[in-house]
Amino acid sequence: MLKLYKYSASEKQYWETWENPDGSQTIHWETSGREVKAKKSESLLLKAQKCSRKRSG
């Protein structure tokens, strides 16, 4: 898991990401207590592997 924090005079930003058992990534973020957001995305490594296979195939 990777956690990132950014503080400014007006707000606090928080991001974290982790790998899921299926190889995808979950990204979770929040800004100063506003609505929490999350997104599940295919792993960048898996995307690169698929792209490489298409080009060589």
Radius of gyration for the chain, computed over Cα atoms and rounded to the nearest angstrom: 15
Amino acid letter, 3: K
pLDDT of residue 26: 85
Task: Tell me: pLDDT of 53 over 70.
Answer: no
pLDDT tens for 9-38 read 888 888 888 888 887 888 888 887 677 777
Q: 35-43: long-range contacts at Cβ-Cβ below 8 A with a sequence spacing of 24 or more? A: 43/19
- For residue 52, what are its two tokens? 């490489």
Q: What is the mean pLDDT of residues 32-50?
A: 68
Q: What is the Cα–Cα distance from 24 to 56, expressed in whole angstroms? A: 23
- For residue 7, what are its two tokens? 């503080």
pLDDT of residue 40: 77
Task: Give residue 5's pLDDT band: very low, low, confident or very high (50, 70, 90).
Answer: confident
Task: Give residue 46's pLDDT band: very low, low, confident or very high (50, 70, 90).
Answer: low
